[in-house]
Amino acid sequence: MDLRESITTIKGIGEKTASCFSKLGIHTVGELVNTFPRDYIFYGEPVDIKDTKIGVRNVVEGMVYSYVDVKRVRSLKIVTMTVKDGSGTLKITWFNQPYLKNMFHKGETYVFVGEVKIKNNMRVMEHPEYYRPAEYENMRQELQPVYPLTKGLSNKTFQKAVKSARTAYLSLKDYMPEDIRRENNLMELTESYENIHFPMNEELLKNAIRRTAFDEFYKFLYELKVLKQDNVRLINNHKIVQGKAVAEFVNNLPYRLTKGQQQAIEDILSDMGGDNVMNRLVQGDVGSGKTVVAEAALFACAKEGFQGALMVPTEVLAKQHYDEISVIFESYGLRTACLIGSTPLKEKRKIYEELKNKDIDILIGTHALIEDKVEFKNLGLVITDEQHRFGVNQRNRLATKGDYPHVLVMSATPIPRTLAIIMYSDLDISVIKELPKGRKPIKNCVVGTNYRNTAYKFIAGQVAEKSQVYVICPMVDVSDTMDLTNVTEYTDTLKESLPPEIVVETLHGKMKADEKNEIMLRFLDGKIDVLVSTTVIEVGINNPNATVMMVENSERFGLAQLHQLRGRVGRGSKQSYCIFINGKEDDEEVTKRLKVLEDSNDGFFIAGEDLRLRGPGDFFGIRQSGDVQFNIADIYNHADMLRLAQEILDKHSEEVVPDVIEKIKQINI
């Protein structure tokens, strides 16, 4: 079997199953074996129903003790039954699987595996896995991989497919020489694939993940090195010398710049006026005021007579930036335009024309900026904001719209400096450390679920004072309809707990882009009081009137991500609050980790603590969104592998070429 072949060459995968796989972006054998489990489940000893822990996965063995009931609620068909063991009773529920009614009969015993919740004072397990006791006995004590799934594709089918595809990777020869592997405790390559998909035990799984993270970093750094060799130091074709004009621009701002902002602007001016093309990263915590730094750079560029472009990841953010920038720039006689996917075609054409004729100085927009039709007359500077949302290639594509324009990227991801130097080794870095003066520090609390009602009262009080509120519910897997039910269900409960005049709306990843935009804009307009959202919440959005951020199941997020979410509030003059609900209060380590957020509002400190507390190799937490999207590697959790990859690359880049990785990852048939 070849890694490049279509997955339909695997026995048992027909057109129908293949089309389910293709929804997950899996078309080839190579893509299949490179789709790693998103979690592993350990099937342990069943516990007494009375001892089940709330909010986490439990295994119970019980007898069906009621008749199995099916009822309809709105569009849902709900199957319920009650099971009991010697210690207590447990309600079991499934949504939209009415056929399950005939699976179970009163008096029979099953093992159920799933999360236990309390509803109406009863212990409830929703959508559990179920097994006959003998069947369960067979899988006990094994680590079971859980793959990302989609409708019509079961975990069992996925597992079987990977098993059949094993031969495709087992014959590969490791690109990493044995002596280097031994010296650095790196598992052999094919062995790592084996143990990621079929882990024999936790120790081997850990080592396999470690090796895979290493490979991802090594390949990334290797490519970066090649890239850098290709474009050593480019000659500056766009000398921009506008120190005086920028000083005036800064003087006219309604506030004084912080030291970090000033330094960043100085760095930028010195780059753009120098002999080589600028290639700079501005890194600053959320709310540190990166936008104005971008504005100053664009201003200098336009004053010099060149065009500039600012690319952001979402339409809402593009509009928000445009509204601010266009007003300021037009007062200086500079012309701006906004180009996004939903711009009407007629207007788009006009913008294309004006860009070519240089009737537009500054263009702001989304990915729409890198479409082929967009042509500039003399592009001198490109900026990408919230750059972690873009790949290196998208960044570069914007730059190819000009003749080696200056490049500036902005990031709010607080990576410790040592890591940043590796991750962004092709960029110079300016760091904005401090927040603008006069901000009231956000008041934080980490509390248990029993605090929820108090929190709702607090939220009602803030809305009564004309403030707005974000509530975040985690959605682990976008393809999981179960979690979707949770968000809508959650919103219903929330509405019931708040006074009826409060407007509550939901935002989630399943919505169409324009639906999401519409809700975001209404929220910015103050027409929505409480926005319940999954983490699709737009990055970079500035709503200074939002004063409360409540995060459900905080324990499921990394600290750095929680800090990013928190950055949505505390942007105005009003006092802001962050309520982190801890669903695992009994877990001392989790609580200790979350408490870091209570003690500090400093993103860099938090990222460091996250790294220290979770340590490398914590693979059961939700993976943090790093700056570059790796499959398994995580710049915080696997910081040691990142350093090791850099070290080996520095010593052996000539002989250790990650071409096998290239081969394994062969995609696109």
Piece in contact with ligand ADP (CB under 6 A), picked from 131-139, 253-261, 628-636, 637-645: 253-261
Place of tokens 């003066």: 437
For residue 129, which phi and psi values (nearest 5 degrees)?
-80, 150
Closest alpha carbon to 144 in 130, 154, 134, 159:
159
Restricted to residues 539-568, the positions that interact with Mg ion (CB under 5 A) are 540
Closest approach of ligand ADP to the CB of residue 544, in Å:
6
Residue 542 makes contact with ligand ADP by CB under 6 A: yes
Q: What is the CA radius of gyration of the chain?
A: 27
Residue 608 makes contact with Mg ion by CB under 5 A: no
The Cα–Cα gap between 81 and 419 comes to 52
Q: Which of 287, 313, 380, 402 binds ligand ADP (CB under 6 A)?
A: 287
Place of tokens 């990915």: 367
For residue 497, which phi and psi values (nearest 5 degrees)?
-85, -10
Indicate the Cα dihedral angle 199, 204, 205, 208, nearest 10°: -110
CB distance 509 to 503 below 8 Å: no
- Hey, what are 286's tokens? 């959320």
Largest CA distance in the chain: 85
Residue 419 makes contact with ligand ADP by CB under 6 A: no
- Hey, what are 83's tokens? 């099971």
Closest approach of ligand ADP to the CB of residue 258, in Å:
5
CB distance 522 to 528 below 8 Å: yes
81 binds, among ligand ADP, Mg ion, none (CB under 5 to 8 A by kind): none
**Which residue number places its CB atom closest to Mg ion?**
540
Restricted to residues 126-145, the positions that interact with ligand ADP (CB under 6 A) are none
Residue 603 makes contact with Mg ion by CB under 5 A: no
Piece in contact with ligand ADP (CB under 6 A), picked from 257-265, 349-357, 450-458, 576-584: 257-265
Residues 6+ apart with CB under 8 A from 74: none
Q: Which of 29, 209, 257, 635 binds ligand ADP (CB under 6 A)?
A: 257
Q: Which residue, 20 or 310, is less far from Mg ion as judged by CB? A: 310
For residue 555, which phi and psi values (nearest 5 degrees)?
-60, -20
DSSP tag of 362: E
The Cα–Cα gap between 359 and 355 comes to 6
Residue 199 makes contact with Mg ion by CB under 5 A: no
Q: Which of 46, 289, 313, 380 binds ligand ADP (CB under 6 A)?
A: 289
Piece in contact with ligand ADP (CB under 6 A), picked from 57-65, 212-220, 282-290, 546-554: 282-290
Closest alpha carbon to 24 in 11, 37, 41, 40:
37
Residue 320 makes contact with ligand ADP by CB under 6 A: no
Q: Which residue, 148 or 540, is less far from Mg ion as judged by CB? A: 540
Residue 336 makes contact with ligand ADP by CB under 6 A: no
Closest alpha carbon to 39 in 541, 569, 621:
621
Q: Would you give the binding string for ligand ADP spanning residues 624-663, x where CB under 6 A is met?
A: ----------------------------------------
Restricted to residues 565-584, the positions that interact with ligand ADP (CB under 6 A) are 571
Closest alpha carbon to 250 in 211, 321, 299:
299
Q: Would you give the binding string for Mg ion spanning residues 482-521, x where CB under 5 A is met?
A: ----------------------------------------
Size of the site for ligand ADP (CB under 6 A): 18
Residue 414 makes contact with Mg ion by CB under 5 A: no
Cα end-to-end span (Å), the chain? 15
Residue 264 makes contact with ligand ADP by CB under 6 A: no
Q: Which of 35, 192, 279, 288 binds ligand ADP (CB under 6 A)?
A: 288
Q: How many CA atoms lie within 13 A of 273 on its CB side?
A: 14
Secondary structure class of 152 (helix, strand, coil): coil
Residue 292 makes contact with ligand ADP by CB under 6 A: yes
Tell me how far CA of residue 439 lies from CA of 93, 254, 487, 572, in angstroms.
48, 15, 32, 7
The angle subtended at Cα 425 by Cα 398 and Cα 389, nearest 5°, is: 45
Piece in contact with ligand ADP (CB under 6 A), picked from 279-287, 373-381, 466-474, 623-631: 279-287
Residue 286 makes contact with ligand ADP by CB under 6 A: yes
Closest approach of Mg ion to the CB of residue 543, in Å:
12
Residue 192 makes contact with ligand ADP by CB under 6 A: no
284 binds, among Mg ion, ligand ADP, none (CB under 5 to 8 A by kind): ligand ADP
Task: Write out the residues near ligand ADP by the rule CB under 6 A.
Answer: 255-258, 261, 284, 286-292, 412, 436, 540, 542, 571
Task: Write out the residues near Mg ion by the rule CB under 5 A.
Answer: 540
